[in-house]
Structure 1
Amino acid sequence: MATKDETNPTETESDESTITQIFDVVARAAPEIRSGLPGRRIYAEEDNPSGETQMEADVYADDLLCERIGDIDGVGEYASEERPAVIDTGSGLSVCVDPLDGSSNLKPNNTMGTIVAVYDAPIPATGADMLAAAYVLYGATTTMIVARDDTVTEYVIQEDGEYEAVREDITLPDDPTVYGFGGRVPDWVESFTEYARDIESDASMKLRYGGSMIGDVNQILTYGGIFAYPTLQDSPEGKLRVQFEGYPVGYIIETAGGRSSDGEQSLLAVEKDELHARTPVYVGNEELIEKLEAAFAED
């Protein structure tokens, strides 16, 4: 079970070292995950805890990351979107992972990613417990975005697992140009539908939606704009999981000067006590999120 010793004067230094090791392991595992995808484009025999059919690639990435991250001294818990319960790995920080975000994109060969959240509290943790977050994007190149110490950095990962920073102190552009909205349009609630139509009518905004949240969020981080997987009529809590997607993506976007929301408050203020709990997710430039929250407040 993850524990925190408030009396330990070297706690911060120890945490920093552990976080560095976590992201080093993730970066070095990324080429293995990517190279393992071609032979694992078929469905596994089981569903994940959220009721989604697993791909063999999901299971492969999860097993690899669980073993590698779990072996790090200073990591006390490992939790995955693909597992029903938290894995006890000793004592120290807690790590939540979405091993292969967007694995349904394997069949059409679109972008996918890996999401990592680091907490200094037992899982399920809260947004206030987050120390760092990152995602790997398997696109034309393999990159890793890391948010820690109040800054966001992009790294390019080479085939041998070596990685180097290519952009530092990343912030969302002031003039947003892209948007991406998930869920079936007929299932959108009225307030979000009206907001979406307003965004779509803006000639300066272009639709960018690829079915992998990390791919879509990376567009927002690069060009500015808004990504949403909203509350739906038949699913008020949306689709995305708080621990594995909502908190880390909210943390990254907010660290980059943007805003996140569940429609009423920052994603980092959302509190859910169930490991696989869901939340609506809205992230992007501050003014776009403010307008969205205003639209929901009018209901």
Structure 2
Amino acid sequence: MAVATISAVSQLLLSGGPTSRSLSHLSPFHLNLPGHQRTIFSAKQGPQRHGYAVIECAAVDTTATEVETKKKSSFELQTLTTWLLKQEQAGSIDSEMTIVLSSISIACKQIASLVQRANISNLTGVQGAVNVQGEDQKKLDVVSNEVFSNCLRSSGRTGIIASEEEDVPVAVEESYSGNYIVVFDPLDGSSNIDAAVSTGSIFGIYSPNDECLADMGDGSTVGSSRPDPVLDQGEQKCVVSVCQPGSNLLAAGYCMYSSSIIFVLTVGKGVYAFTLDPMYGEFLLTQEQVKIPQAGKIYAFNEGNYQLWDDKLRRYMDSLKDPGPTGKPYSARYIGSLVGDFHRTLLYGGIYGYPRDKKSKNGKLRLLYECAPMSFIVEQAGGKGSDGHQRILDIEPQEIHQRVPLFIGSVEEVEKLEKFLA
């Protein structure tokens, strides 16, 4: 409206009327015509008249607009795929790793959908089989393992895949084979499935050992065409040597299936969290460079096993319950799902522990599929993972399904426990 008025006044001035004056002396934002009504255009109050015409338009602050635009751009949605491509451009990962991680994210989306529809699709309950760990397999355990394995095979970038649910690692067929070695727990916390409590998938990615791959079996290589691609005992040992220690991990992550589907990932350059947006069907970056607090007042242990622990660990647990000078003891939070308990610990600080006891001499968590990947993540976030005496990532596995005690979380909390167990 103001622009139209300015145009009309400009025509009046150019017509040579008695009130005309040189345009060179007039501002396009302030036209003063003596003897006429003054009209001020206000964005909030509208035109106001005071006896003579002055048309004033507020100039646009381009600087403020640019700042606002820049501010908005900082909140621009960034998908996991975009983030991976940026990591590739920065040289943090190669194109092969980008494909492997993308395939894992697709597997997680499929499993998330299966978990959410478990009751509807009759996928709750026990499958009727027992896995290599001697544990009853849930229906979703079996399906999730199949989904994860198929996504990794079809990526064309994995040479060996090792699952917690499989007896031995599997060599990928020649037509699909690549180089990376991927270890994974397809559905951690599956005992919680029927109660709709949070579950998750955990994975770790290792670089191949070329010498090892070239000498497998009778001169054949991993990926060679053969009817049964299951590795023999010698090849399993080779895989162990490739996968150890955990400090050799190139990437690790987990996906938590809860009120939100959260995909947490590290490629050795810090920890990043992505949340699945159901509107777009994409993982969107929601947290950058996640850092665990140096200390925390939360512990997550299965205290039902208290009487089965050794005296040193019981004394440590008693110390957490002592109010001390602050008058407030530690808070107990235990879900029974490693991914759920770890994710809370990562955000809020504290310690998660699954120790050895009289029944489970080495604890229950697997080194390759759970302890090493989680320890790699927590160290990238500034925390610590330990078996009570040494760094988890320094442990050399002696077998594929080796179990170790795990204490993981804030540096100060883990070190405090180590002093009790020393």
Code of the residue aligned with 2:389 in structure 1: it is E
Aligned to 1:128: 247
The CA deviation at 1:185 is 1.7
Amino acid at match of 2:184: V
Q: Is the 1:30–1:161 contact (alpha carbons within 8 Å) kept by the matching residues of 2?
A: no
Query: In the superposition, relative to structure 1, how do residues 69 and 161 fare at CA in structure 2: closer, same or farther (>3 Å)?
Result: farther
TM superposition shift of 1:49: 0.8
Structure 1 counterpart of 2:320, from 185, 196, 199: 199
* Amino acid aligned to 1:16: D
> Which residues of 2 match residues 238-257 of structure 1 at below 5 A?
238-257=363-382
Partner of 1:8: none
Structure 2 length as normaliser, TM-score?
A: 0.65
Residue 22, structure 1, aligned to residue 104, structure 2: no
| Corresponding residue for residue 98 of structure 1 | 185
What TM-score comes out, normalization by structure 1 length? Answer: 0.91
Identity %: 30
Q: Does residue 55 of the first structure (1) align with residue 176 of the second (2)?
A: no
Contact between 1:100 and 1:114, CA under 8 Å: does it hold in 2? yes
Residue by residue over 1:11-46, the C-alpha shift from the partner in whole angstroms, topping out at 9 and shown as x without a partner, is: x96963233222222222223212223121121121
What is the identity, as a one-letter code, of the residue corresponding to 1:254? E
Asked whether the equivalents of residues 320 and 329 of structure 2 are also in contact (C-alpha less than 8 Å), the reply is no
> Is 1:260–2:385 an aligned residue pair?
yes
> Does the alignment pair 1:226 with 2:304?
no
SS in 2 for 1:28: helix
CA contact (8 A) 1:96 1:116 kept: yes
Corresponding letter in the other structure for 1:220: T
Equivalent position to 2:362, from 228, 232, 237 = 237
Higher strand share: 1
The CA deviation at 1:109 is 1.3
| Count of residues in correspondence between the two structures | 287
SS in 1 for 2:239: coil
2:273–2:287 CA contact under 8 A, matched in 1: yes
Alignment-mate amino acid for residue 249 of structure 2: M
Structure 1: where are the runs of 5+ without partners? 1-11
Deviations 1:47-79 (A, max 9, x none): 111110000100111101101111223211111
Alpha-carbon RMSD across the aligned residues, in angstroms, is 1.9
Q: Deviations over 1:149-169 (max 9, x none)?
A: 320000001336411110011
Q: Kindly tell me: are residues 78 and 14 of structure 1, through their superposed partners in 2, closer, same or farther at Cα, counting changes over 3 Å?
A: farther
Q: Which letter maps to 1:133?
A: A
Matched to 2:134, the amino acid is G
- Work out whether residues 270 and 380 of structure 2, in 8 Å CA contact, stay in contact via their aligned partners in 1: yes
* Residue of structure 2 equivalent to 1:162: 282
Counterpart contact for 1:15–1:93, Cα < 8 Å: no
Report which structure shows greater RCO (CA 8 Å, sep ≥6): 1
Q: Which residue of 2 aligns with 1:116?
A: 203
Q: Distance in 2 between matches of 1:26 and 1:134?
A: 10
Aligned mate of 1:139, from 258, 277, 295: 258
Q: Which runs of 5+ in 2 are unaligned?
A: 1-89, 209-237
